[in-house]
Amino acid sequence: MLRRDGPRTRSIAHDCRLEQEYPSSSYDKAIDDIIIGMNFEKYSQQASGLRSALATFNLHLQNLKKREACEVAIWGEILSETLEEVRFFEREKQDYMQNALSGTKSQS
């Protein structure tokens, strides 16, 4: 029988937190909120591209966060390469959103 505070339960809770922080479903409410907040029409071609890109960035970030947890468990610290990758994908995600927003303004 699985104990509630066992490793598997903690892993599931960790995965749920990651999914909330970095939703990887293209039609997650958090991604919808970002798209609507950027004044895109919810089902426009631009919104669809942004939706897909955000989900992909978030999936990469989820995997990197899981890798961080493994590195801490194995080596006691997060490797600098992993931190660098997280920063890179966070920056790319923000740049992509900024470019999408700039494209919208120039089309107005």
Residue 1 binned pLDDT confidence (cut-offs 50, 70, 90): very low
Q: Can you give the pLDDT at residue 33?
A: 86
CA distance 26 to 49: 10
For the chain, domain boundaries: 7-107
pTM: 0.74
CA distance 96 to 5: 39
Which residue bears the tokens 């303004």?
105
Grouping H, G, I as helix, E, B as strand and the rest as coil, residue 25 is: coil
C-beta of residue 74 within 8 angstroms of C-beta of residue 66 = no
Burial class (CB in 10 A: 0-12, 13-18, 19+), 97: middle
Segment 7-64, tens digit of pLDDT: 544 555 556 777 777 777 767 788 888 888 888 888 889 889 998 999 999 999 999 9
